[in-house]
């Protein structure tokens, strides 16, 4: 534990990267997941099939393979993130970070989509029919009537998906992002005698992050409860 | 007596491998043949770990699987190759165990699990580019070094980079959590970690990072694999003393390991192992390093 306390800066910086990965990929995954679910429940057969295929394929692929795709295969076919070159304080967000965010969001959005689809199914059919009856187009039905209710109904599983995302960011440790697990391995490598303390220190960091998200989700659930 | 036998065996090996070298000029190195010391069990004192191992006739050795020239397992291979492995074979043979038989279990020890594996007894010896540090000596036994190396840079052949100072603020690849990453950061560059050195090579080749860095001998192996595309540059900017790890509960192993290493320095088997494994990537055989004293 002393090793971590003596170098608290490195510890916090590492969790800073974890947090950045989580926040950016979390938001992107919510947006992409919403688009996917709209495609999946929408009236266009081609889009429905495309979204279904994407979700079943990516959801059944291990995350580390998705990462490996963006790290090793994508550059060969010229899918790169070289345009990303942002430096804020001691944080550098470069190509490797971009690839990590892409992997995490494209993976997590499939789970978001499925959680939301459960939410959409929970909205009584009459709601959508009534919305159509007053002349709303598909987009209007989704954004004004169905999705707001679906999000509320799907809040608990969505929170679980986002919590899983926090822990999934650790895969980026071996794909060039100096996040918490990468830093932990640096610590355990240099301070072999303090392994247990180092593990505990990093476990606490993850627990804090997860607790914050759970707390926010619980509050949102109470606040947005339907009727 | 023991030494005589060992030297005789080493001489035989020398001859055999010289002959083998005539027939096979390919770069496919099978490693040296090391013959087991037959009377090993009688030579060690009762109650020592060496005696136990010699009597049991089996041993578990922790090595790396992903470092060409040092400890490397071919895809589908069953015995790893490299300099670490050659030194391990000398130790194993001294215990009277045939290093090429199934009685030796080669266990992959990645950087992170070397200490736990020794502490839990899952391996008896670790020869896995294991740098000797005071911190590690608090939890495991380490002796040697049998090899001293330092960190250099591997860059694309057309790169202008000449030293780590040219890379201040830029990303340099190495293995996540390794000492090399620390040294890169200390030198002012930004260390980014991947799971293995070969993945870093890939990232240097596709241009995501400007360079990768770790021990020069490892880099030499990759430069040889990718001739014309990659080159090793720069002065060594760190010193790693590679030693043998053993359990801290068995301090008697230290003297024995040092004796075997000392023998191999004297009879030339050390130099020969070096030439065979690291020679092909263009590393010159150095003088054998001075061994640390064992704590009494």
- Predicted local confidence at residue B7, as pLDDT: 59
Specify the residue for token string 């974890």.
A18
| Tally of structural domains, chain B | 2
- Verify that B224 and B245 share a domain, yes or no: no
Give the pLDDT band of residue A18 (cuts 50, 70, 90): very high
- Verify that B163 and B257 share a domain, yes or no: no
Whether the ipTM is more than 0.90: the answer is no
The one-character DSSP state at B14 is: H
Any domain includes B214? yes
Residue B227 Rama label (left phi>0; alpha psi -120 to 50; beta): beta
Q: Do B112 and A173 touch (CB under 8 A)?
A: no
Q: Do A195 and B116 touch (CB under 8 A)?
A: yes
B133 neighbourhood in chain A, CB within 8 Å: 190
- Verify that B26 and B59 share a domain, yes or no: yes
- Verify that B89 and B198 share a domain, yes or no: no
- Predicted local confidence at residue B25, as pLDDT: 36
Any domain includes B98? yes
Q: Do B177 and A192 touch (CB under 8 A)?
A: no
- Predicted local confidence at residue B12, as pLDDT: 55
Any domain includes B139? yes
Q: Please say whether the beta carbons of B143 and B246 come within 8 A.
A: yes
- Verify that B47 and B109 share a domain, yes or no: yes
- Predicted local confidence at residue A68, as pLDDT: 94
A185 neighbourhood in chain B, CB within 8 Å: 112, 176-177, 193
Q: Please say whether the beta carbons of A69 and A80 come within 8 A.
A: no
Q: Domain residues for B254?
A: 2-149+241-281
Any domain includes B286? no
- Predicted local confidence at residue B205, as pLDDT: 92
Any domain includes B287? no
Q: Do B171 and A190 touch (CB under 8 A)?
A: no
- Verify that B103 and B226 share a domain, yes or no: no
Q: Please say whether the beta carbons of A120 and A37 come within 8 A.
A: yes
Q: Please say whether the beta carbons of B203 and B213 come within 8 A.
A: no
Specify the residue for token string 């990468």.
A182
Question: B92 or A25: whose pLDDT is higher?
Answer: A25
A189 neighbourhood in chain B, CB within 8 Å: 111-112, 177-179
B117 neighbourhood in chain A, CB within 8 Å: none
Of B138, B179, B206, the CB nearest to A190: B179
Any domain includes B295? no
Mutate to test the interface with B, among A176, A179, A196 (most CBs of B within 10 A): A176
pLDDT tens digits along A158-190: 999 999 999 999 999 999 898 999 999 888 888
Interval A115-123 mean pLDDT = 94
- Verify that B163 and B263 share a domain, yes or no: no
For chain B, say whether A163 makes contact (Cβ under 8 Å).
no
Question: In chain B, which ranges are continuous DSSP H helix?
Answer: 2-23, 40-43, 49-56, 83-94, 114-120, 134-137, 179-186, 197-205, 216-225, 253-267, 269-277
- Verify that B145 and B79 share a domain, yes or no: yes
- Predicted local confidence at residue B83, as pLDDT: 87
Reduce the DSSP state of residue B191 to 3 states and report it. strand
- Verify that B103 and B193 share a domain, yes or no: no
For chain B, say whether A21 makes contact (Cβ under 8 Å).
no
Q: Do B171 and A176 touch (CB under 8 A)?
A: yes
Ranges of residues in chain B whose predicted pLDDT is under 70? 1-30, 40-41, 296
pLDDT tens digits along A57-113: 999 999 999 999 999 999 888 888 888 888 888 888 989 999 999 999 999 999 999
Q: Rounded to an integer, what distance in angstroms lies between the CA atom of residue B273 and that of residue B283?
A: 12
CATH of the domain at B94: 3.40.190.10
pLDDT tens digits along A182-223: 999 888 888 878 888 999 999 999 999 999 999 999 999 888
A75 neighbourhood in chain B, CB within 8 Å: 206-208
Q: Rounded to an integer, what distance in angstroms lies between the CA atom of residue A22 and that of residue A89?
A: 19
Phi, psi of A144, rounded to the nearest 5 degrees: -95, -25
DSSP output for B104-164: EEEEE--GGGHHHHHHHTS-SEEEEEEE--HHHHTTSEEEEEEEEE-EEEEEETT----SG
Any domain includes B290? no
Phi, psi of B100, rounded to the nearest 5 degrees: -95, 0
Q: Do A190 and B190 touch (CB under 8 A)?
A: no
B194 neighbourhood in chain A, CB within 8 Å: 71, 174-176
The one-character DSSP state at B24 is: -
Specify the residue for token string 């889009």.
A47
For chain B, say whether A178 makes contact (Cβ under 8 Å).
yes
Q: Rounded to an integer, what distance in angstroms lies between the CA atom of residue B154 and that of residue B156?
A: 7
| Per CATH, domain A19-179 is 3.40.50.720 | no
Specify the residue for token string 């002012």.
B188
Any domain includes B296? no
- Verify that B15 and B106 share a domain, yes or no: yes
Read off the pTM: 0.80
Q: Do A190 and B135 touch (CB under 8 A)?
A: yes
pLDDT tens digits along A43-52: 899 999 999 9
For B217, residues 6+ apart whose C-beta sits below 8 A from its C-beta are: B69, B70, B83, B149, B278, B281, B283
- Verify that B161 and B113 share a domain, yes or no: no
- Verify that B58 and B183 share a domain, yes or no: no
For chain B, say whether A175 makes contact (Cβ under 8 Å).
yes
């Amino acid at each position: 534990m002393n090793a971590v306390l003596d170098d608290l800066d490195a510890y916090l910086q590492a969790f800073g990267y974890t947090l950045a990965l989580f926040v950016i990929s979390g938001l992107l995954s919510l947006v992409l997941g919403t688009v996917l679910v709209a495609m999946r429940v929408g009236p266009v057969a081609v889009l429905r099939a495309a979204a279904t295929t994407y979700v079943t394929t990516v959801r059944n692929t291990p995350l580390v393979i998705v990462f490996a795709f963006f790290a090793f295969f994508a550059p060969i076919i010229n899918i790169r993130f070289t345009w990303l070159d942002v430096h804020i304080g001691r944080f550098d967000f470069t190509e490797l970070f971009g690839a990590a965010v892409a992997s995490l969001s494209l993976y997590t959005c499939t789970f978001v989509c499925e959680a939301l689809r459960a939410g959409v199914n929970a909205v009584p059919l009459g709601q959508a029919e009534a919305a159509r009856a007053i002349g709303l187009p598909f987009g209007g039905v989704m954004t004004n009537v169905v999705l707001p209710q679906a999000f509320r109904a799907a809040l608990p599983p969505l929170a679980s998906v986002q919590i899983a995302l926090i822990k999934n960011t650790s895969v980026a440790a071996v794909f060039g992002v100096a996040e918490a697990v990468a830093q932990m391995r640096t610590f355990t490598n240099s301070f072999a005698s303090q392994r247990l303390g180092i593990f505990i220190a990093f476990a606490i960091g993850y627990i804090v992050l997860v607790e914050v998200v759970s707390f926010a989700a619980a509050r949102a659930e109470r606040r947005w409860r339907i009727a | 007596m023991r030494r005589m036998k060992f030297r005789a065996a080493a001489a035989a090996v020398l001859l055999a491998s010289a002959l083998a070298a005539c027939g096979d000029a390919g770069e496919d190195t099978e490693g040296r043949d090391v013959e087991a010391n037959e009377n090993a069990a009688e030579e060690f004192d009762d109650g020592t770990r060496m005696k136990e191992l010699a009597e049991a006739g089996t041993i578990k050795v922790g090595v790396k699987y992903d470092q060409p020239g040092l400890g490397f397992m071919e895809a589908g291979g069953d015995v790893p190759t490299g300099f670490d492995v050659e030194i391990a074979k000398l130790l194993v043979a001294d215990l009277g165990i045939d290093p090429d038989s199934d009685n030796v279990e080669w266990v992959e020890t990645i950087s992170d699990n070397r200490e736990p594996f020794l502490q839990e007894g899952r391996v008896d010896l670790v020869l896995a580019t294991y740098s000797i540090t005071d911190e590690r000596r608090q939890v495991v036994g380490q002796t040697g070094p049998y090899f001293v190396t330092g960190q250099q840079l591997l860059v694309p052949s057309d790169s202008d980079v000449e030293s780590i100072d040219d890379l201040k603020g830029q990303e340099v690849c190495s293995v996540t959590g390794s000492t090399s990453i620390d040294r890169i950061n200390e030198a002012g560059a930004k260390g980014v970690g991947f799971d293995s050195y070969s993945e870093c090579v890939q990232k240097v080749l596709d241009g995501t990072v400007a360079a990768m860095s770790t021990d020069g001998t490892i880099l030499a192996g990759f430069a040889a694999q990718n001739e014309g595309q990659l080159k090793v540059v720069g002065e060594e900017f760190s010193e790693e003393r590679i030693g043998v790890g053993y359990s801290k509960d068995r301090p008697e192993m230290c003297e024995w390991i040092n004796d075997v290493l000392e023998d191999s320095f004297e009879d030339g088997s050390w130099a020969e192992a070096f030439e065979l494994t690291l020679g092909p990537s263009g590393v010159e055989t150095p003088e054998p390093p001075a061994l640390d004293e064992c704590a009494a």
